[in-house]
Amino acid sequence: MKTLICVAATWLVFSSVGASPAMSQSQVIEGYTFLRGALGPQVCLGRWIPPRDVASPGYCDGQLVDVSQLTAVSARVSADRLDQILLALTSIDQKLALNNDQIKQLIETTTDTQASIDQQVIQVSEILSDTITKRFEALPEDILSNDLFRNELTKLKEDILREVEKHYSKRPTTPTK
């Protein structure tokens, strides 16, 4: 009986010592299994397979790394991703600046074109008015000798000039910004 108790006690001691504290104390946080091992806290970078029974240890189906190593690798990956994001944002910023310059140039060109059109409209109006006035002044004196006919021609000339002015009036030029 003493032998049986000794064997049972020895088996109990070996099974409790054999099950490392890391295997009995695991904690899952954000997909990683954190373990307390003889070397300090460690992380299972894979799938943690828990023990099937109390005497057997669980195991990591993947790589088991120290927490400080994981922190260093994670910081490096984060820094690399930040650099990539900064490059993308810089590229976007450059493209937006180029687009803004092109829009500014387009606005200036549009303003210049509108000013040119307005100037041409003014010139056409002046040319038409001068031509109409000269044509009416060039009428022979025989036609203008009749006062009634001359008054009607003067009214006609004024009506035509008003229509020219109405259709070819000055448009306000938009200021350049």
Looking at the structure, tell me whether residues 50 and 90 fall in a common domain.
Answer: no
- Cβ pair 91, 98 in contact under 8 A: no
Looking at the structure, tell me whether residues 153 and 125 fall in a common domain.
Answer: yes
Instruction: Tell whether 69 is covered by a domain.
Output: no
80-103: b (≥16 Cβ within 10 Å) or e? eeeeeeeeeeeeeeeeeeeeeeee
Looking at the structure, tell me whether residues 27 and 89 fall in a common domain.
Answer: no
For the cut 70, the answer to whether the pLDDT of residue 39 exceeds it is yes
Looking at the structure, tell me whether residues 80 and 163 fall in a common domain.
Answer: yes
Q: Give the domain range for residue 113.
A: 76-167
Count of structural domains within the chain: 2
Instruction: Tell whether 139 is covered by a domain.
Output: yes
Above pLDDT 90, what percent of the chain? Answer: 31
* Phi and psi at residue 171, to the nearest 5°: -100, 140
For the cut 80, the answer to whether the pLDDT of residue 37 exceeds it is no
Q: What is the pLDDT of residue 90?
A: 97
* Distance separating alpha carbons of residues 142 and 5, to the nearest angstrom: 152
Instruction: Tell whether 173 is covered by a domain.
Output: no
Looking at the structure, tell me whether residues 38 and 91 fall in a common domain.
Answer: no
Looking at the structure, tell me whether residues 117 and 160 fall in a common domain.
Answer: yes
Question: 48-75: per-residue pLDDT in tens?
Answer: 888 888 777 778 888 888 888 888 888 9
Looking at the structure, tell me whether residues 161 and 80 fall in a common domain.
Answer: yes
Average pLDDT value for the chain: 80
Among the candidates 28, 57, 86, a domain finishes at 57
Instruction: Tell whether 121 is covered by a domain.
Output: yes
pTM of the predicted protein model: 0.48
Looking at the structure, tell me whether residues 152 and 111 fall in a common domain.
Answer: yes
Question: 155-167: per-residue pLDDT in tens?
Answer: 999 999 898 888 8
Q: What is the pLDDT of residue 113?
A: 96
Instruction: Tell whether 70 is covered by a domain.
Output: no
Regarding predicted confidence, which is higher, 78 or 33? 78
Instruction: Tell whether 62 is covered by a domain.
Output: no
Q: What is the pLDDT of residue 55?
A: 73
For the cut 70, the answer to whether the pLDDT of residue 22 exceeds it is no
- Cβ pair 17, 43 in contact under 8 A: no
Looking at the structure, tell me whether residues 86 and 148 fall in a common domain.
Answer: yes
Confidence of residue 149 (pLDDT cuts 50, 70, 90): confident
Instruction: Tell whether 13 is covered by a domain.
Output: yes
Instruction: Tell whether 67 is covered by a domain.
Output: no
Question: What are the beta bridge partners of residue 49?
Answer: 59
Confidence of residue 26 (pLDDT cuts 50, 70, 90): low
For the cut 70, the answer to whether the pLDDT of residue 128 exceeds it is yes
Confidence of residue 46 (pLDDT cuts 50, 70, 90): confident
Looking at the structure, tell me whether residues 88 and 163 fall in a common domain.
Answer: yes
